[in-house]
Amino acid sequence: MLTVEHLEKTFDGITPVLGGIDLAVQPGEIVAIVGGSGCGKSTLLRILTGLDTPSGGTVRLDGETILEPHERIGIVFQEPRLFPWLTVGQNVGFGLAHLPKAARDRKVRAVLARVGLADRAEAWPRQLSGGQAQRVAIARALVTDPEVLLLDEPFSALDAFTRADLQDHLLEIWAKTDPRPTLVIVTHDVDEAVILADRVVIMQPNPGRIADVQDIPLPRPRSRTAEGFDHARHAVMETLDRTLPRRG
Amino acid sequence: MADLSLSTPTPAPRRALPLGALWGLALPLGVALVWEAVVALGWNSGRLLPAPSVILLTLHDLWVRGDLAGHIGITLWRVALGFVFGTLAGTALGALTGYARPAARLLDPTLQALRAIPSIAWVPLFILWFGIFETPKVTLIAVGVFFPVYLGVMAAIQSVDRKIVEVGRVFRLTGPELVGRILLPAILPAYVTALRAGLGLGWMFVVAAEFMGASQGLGYLLVDGQQLGKPAQIVAAIVSFAVLGKATDSLLALAAAPFLRWEDGFAKRRES
């Protein structure tokens, strides 16, 4: 279980960014974190990854304190961040340098097949579309079989069709993985949060804290046109609306 | 990097040397032909700048006597040694100052000041320190090669995308792994450019080096030509420098090309 206790973050010792976050994410659960700009959701995710250190409080994975990147935690960033000098297959196998080549190749092929890019192992990153590149980034994070996969606005740079396709694809991969990984997704897209998550964490700014946590009791697989989708979406929107700072 | 390959990507089909490369010969050949005609028609005596045929004859004579190969060989050897030493030092210090900010604060101002010193200014000092044989010459060339390589490596490492380096942190790379698996490959295109700039300066500095009491080498041919009033020999040496400089630069670019196939530059886009 991923637990966050009284998490605080202050930039430059004066600007509070996170003001006491408490959250527990069950194994195999999908949690979406939504909120307006500057509510600290990306900072929270970076601390969960171990890329940033908190000013106070702790992050634990099954009791183990996370202070730096951990092999059981994978991350997908907003941009694919592929290494342009490596082929798609080499990018995916980047975190498997310790394995013998044959074992590495086997795992890379398997995970590329899971993201639907089995035939692109030899391609260069520059030859991929935005959606394909982000799928390679997901494959690179999945290849080490992380128990927790953190995604920082992973589809926000993609067009609406590709985004919906990749959301479905991510759910498909999640459902087929045994045991199912824990997913924590930061997004500013409420539809995305509702289609993906078991629970939506709504954050509010100044300093960033949790305004509300809403369960999404929709059955899986979900459809954007299903009954109940609009209702769930509406509930999240309503809370979000209350947290947004108003001018005047 | 090789051990990380899933399998080697299929090489691009080898193209025949494009005819476009021959265009590069048009300008020097054109100028040579015009000058040949000018001298042949008697519009100029060709005493101070001999006709290309005379220069070719001089080159031929030097070659037949076996002198030219010896001069070229020793000059090439000096440039090669200076290039290796200059590159090693430039890469190491450039990587250090590019990677570690305190090292940059400590070393870079001094190195930039040293860079501003004209090459010839070193000559008397190097002769005092190292005598008149090979050591001062190779050292001077290495100094010339050092600065573009140092500057190129430092600037390239400092400008590596922070986001890509962060991926290395996510995969918990150690410092040396980060350098070997991310920083060095990321700077490779800039590194090749820096090496080519360094090699170019190596060829310039070899002349200064061979002015200090050489008895062999293309630089010696220049001095000898000047002292004995043989302009054809001077131009022959200059032409040799141009051909060798261009050839070694092309070799370097050619050797680097297979490692840079991933690049997505403007020129490459237009090729495909």
A108 touches chain B (CB under 8 A): yes
Question: Which amino acid, one-letter code, is at B55?
Answer: I
Q: How many Å lie between the alpha carbon of B91 and the closest alpha carbon of chain A? A: 20
Phi, psi of B135 (to 5 degrees): -55, -50
Q: What is the pLDDT of residue A247?
A: 59
The predicted-structure confidence for A149-204, as pLDDT tens digits, reads as follows: 999 999 988 888 888 888 998 998 898 888 899 999 999 899 999 999 999 999 98
**Amino acid identity for residue A215 in this structure:** D
Strands A182-186 vs A148-152: parallel, antiparallel or unpaired: parallel
Taking the domains of chain A in order of start, what are their residue ranges?
2-243
CATH fold, domain A2-243, is: Rossmann fold (3.40.50)
Rounded (10°) angle between helices B184-211 and B218-227: 30
CB contacts, 8 Å: B261 with chain A: 124
Please tell me the distance from the alpha carbon of residue A17 to that of residue A34, in angstroms, as a whole number. Answer: 15
Residues of chain B with C-beta less than 8 angstroms from the C-beta of A124: 9, 261-262, 264
Statement: residue B107 has pLDDT above 90: yes
Kindly state the average pLDDT of the residues B199-223: 88
Given an 8 Å threshold on Cβ–Cβ distance, is A69 in contact with B185?
A: no
| Residue A60 confidence (pLDDT) above 60 | yes
CA distance A40 to A152: 12
Residue-wise pLDDT tens digits, A202-230: 998 888 899 899 999 888 888 888 888 89
Cβ neighbours for B227, distance < 8 A, ≥ 6 positions apart = none
pLDDT at B272: 46
Q: Is the pLDDT of residue B2 over 70?
A: no
Of residues A99 and B66, more confidence is placed in A99
Choose, out of B6, B169, B262, the residue to mutate when testing the contact with A (most A CBs < 10 Å).
B6
Cβ-defined contact of A71 to B172 (cutoff 8 Å):
yes
pLDDT for B119: 79
| Chain A residues touching B5 at Cβ < 8 A | 87, 90
DSSP state of B260: G
Give pLDDT, residue B62.
86
Domains of chain B: 50-260 (1.10.3720.10)
DSSP-assigned beta bridge partners for residue A199: A31, A215
Token pair 């190195």 in the structure block, residue: B111
Q: How far is CA B201 from CA A24, A194, B37, B142, in A?
A: 62, 62, 34, 9
**A49–B163 C-beta distance less than 8 A:** no
Residues 158-197, chain B, touching A (beta carbon < 8 A): 163-164, 166-167, 169-172, 181-182, 185-186, 188
Instruction: Using the predicted structure, report yes or no on whether residue B159 has a pLDDT greater than 60.
Output: yes
Averaged confidence pLDDT in chain B: 86
For the whole model, what pTM was predicted? Answer: 0.79
Kindly report the average pLDDT of chain A as a whole number: 91
Q: Locate the chain B residue with the closest alpha carbon to A76.
A: B167
Which residues in chain B touch residue A101, judged by CB atoms under 8 angstroms apart? 3
- Return the pLDDT at B268: 59
Q: What is the predicted pLDDT for the residue at B266? A: 66
Nearest by CB to A84, from B5, B9, B264: name it. Answer: B264
Is B9 within 8 Å of A87 when comparing Cβ atoms? Answer: yes
Q: pLDDT grade, residue B99 (50/70/90)? A: confident
What strands, in cross-sheet order, belong to the sheet with A30-34?
A73-76, A148-152, A182-186, A30-34, A199-204, A209-215
- pLDDT for B78 equals 94
Say if the Cβ atoms of B185 and A83 lie within 8 Å.
yes
CB contact under 8 A, B6 and A95: no
| pLDDT tens figures, B21-63 | 788 888 989 999 999 999 889 898 888 888 889 889 988 988 8
Measured distance CA(A110)–CA(A89) in Å, rounded: 11
Q: Report whether A31 contacts A148 (CB < 8 A).
A: no
Query: Band of the pLDDT at A57, cuts 50, 70, 90?
Result: very high
Rounded to whole angstroms, the Cα distance separating A198 from A20 reads 23
Q: What is the pLDDT of residues B165-177, one digit of tens each?
A: 999 999 999 888 8
pLDDT of B17 strictly over 70: no
**What is the predicted pLDDT for the residue at B4?**
46
Predicted confidence (pLDDT) per residue in A126-158, tens digit: 999 999 999 999 999 999 999 999 999 999 888
Q: How far is A219 from chain B (nearest CA, A)?
A: 34
Q: Assign residue A15 a region: left if phi > 0, alpha if psi is -120 to 50, beta otherwise?
A: beta
Q: End-to-end distance of chain A based on CA atoms, in angstroms? A: 43
Asked if pLDDT for residue B140 goes beyond 50, the answer is: yes
Q: pLDDT digits over A17-41, tens only?
A: 898 899 999 999 999 999 888 888 9
